[in-house]
Structure formats: structure tokens, C-alpha cells
Amino acid sequence: MIRFLQISLLSLFVISCKSYHIENAVREELTIKEYKNLYFSNPKTDYIYKATIEIYGNQLSGLFIAKRLNNTSHRVVFTTDFGNTLLDFELSENDFKINYIQEDLNRKIIVNTLRDDFRLLLKVNNPVQEIFENDESIIYKSADKKRFNYFYVNKSDKQLTKIVSASKAKEKIIIGFEAKKVIFAENISIQHKNIKLKIILNQISN
């Protein structure tokens, strides 16, 4: 029994210490210091999407509008189909302001999760720590506080296809992009691995 417990504890320790691994990827020479995500980079563009948010079995639908205010900040507004505001945030890497949030959404865990999701989605300038490559993508690794963000760029058309936010051990958030141009993504999905939250954005205009 003691030996069984020792083996079980050792297995648990090994699993808990397992580091996040990119499948079939090799490390490449660090040739750039920064990766620019251009999908929400133009301050002259109002980025407007039909939005669906699924959270713990509940579904909200409406419009998602993002606007770059300056070199570091964006404003995000989510409204119902009838134009009623559900949330209105201004955020950058270090600052966060709530202009308005509907009472039902004004829960700390919801606000913090959406804040972090939008920061990950909208941040333009991302410092590069390491570069990896697999058959399909060049992958840029960027440190983000206690996590790391991995930007998957398709080799053939140079489009950003995915952002993976991971702890040292496992994936936490995956943002998928479908785009025809490097400056605008027509379809976006934000999927959480550890909580029941999914956001779907489909282009209305650009």
C-alpha cells in the first residue's frame, strides 16, 4: 500500500510539473523582438461584428464593436440587437475602465474574464520571447504575466490563425481567426478550456 501511494504521488507530481508543449514544433532562431497583431490595429476603423456569448448555459447575442483609441488602448462595446448597451470597456495592457456594464453581467469573475479576453484579442504589439515552427505555422511565444501567449501564423499566406494562452502546463484560452487579409479577421472564436465560456464574432462590416 505504501509503495502504491508513493507511485501515485510521484505520478501526480510528474503530471503537475509537465510543461506545455507545442505539437511537432521545433525552436527557431529569434529573429524578431515583437509580433504585431494587425486585426484591430487601425484607429480609423470601427470593427463591428455580430456576437454570441455562451456562458454557463446562458446565451447573449448582439453587436461587438471595437475601436483603437491610441497606440495602447481600445474601446469595446457590446450591445443587444436592439441597441441597448450591455457593456462598455476601455482597456490597455495596464489600464482598465468600465464605462458601463449591465447589472446581470457585473460579477467580478465575468468582468475579469472578459477584460483578459479582450486584452488578448486586441493587443497589437507583443514582445517575442521564442520562435517555433511546425509544418503549417510560425509560432511566436510572448510572455504575459503568469502565462504565455502563442501566435500561430500560417506559413503560406502570413495570416494569424490562432492565439493560444497557456500556463506553464496547459492551454487556457484559444482564439481562432478566419481572415482574408492580415489587417482584418472576418470570423473569430474565443474558447476557454477551464470554464464554460465561448465567444463567437462574425463580421458585419469593415
What's the pTM?
A: 0.87
C-alpha–C-alpha distance, residues 79 and 117, integer Å: 17
CB contact at 8 A, 158 and 35: no
Sequence-separated (6 or more) residues with CB below 8 Å from residue 3: none
Domain assignments of the chain as residue spans, ordered by start = 22-205
Count Cα atoms within 13 angstroms, Cβ side, for 201: 26
C-alpha–C-alpha distance, residues 125 and 102, integer Å: 31
C-alpha–C-alpha distance, residues 160 and 151, integer Å: 7
Provide the b/e sequence for 163-188 (b: ≥16 CB within 10 Å): bbbbeeeeebbbbbbebeebebbbeb
Q: What is the mean pLDDT of the chain?
A: 88
Cβ-based neighbour number of residue 53 at 10 Å = 21
Sequence-separated (6 or more) residues with CB below 8 Å from residue 82: none
3-class DSSP state of 157: coil
DSSP state of 103: G
Give the DSSP H/E element, type plus range, for residue 84.
none
Of all residues in the chain, the percent with pLDDT exceeding 70 is 90
Give the DSSP H/E element, type plus range, for residue 21.
none
C-alpha–C-alpha distance, residues 40 and 46, integer Å: 9
Per-residue confidence (pLDDT) for residue 120, from 0 to 100: 97
At 8-63, the pLDDT tens digits run 444 444 444 455 778 888 989 999 999 999 999 999 999 999 999 998 778 889 99
Per-residue confidence (pLDDT) for residue 19, from 0 to 100: 57
- Is the four-CA dihedral 89, 92, 93, 96 of positive or negative sign? negative
Beta bridge partners of 51: 62, 201
Yes or no: is domain 22-205 CATH 2.50.20? yes
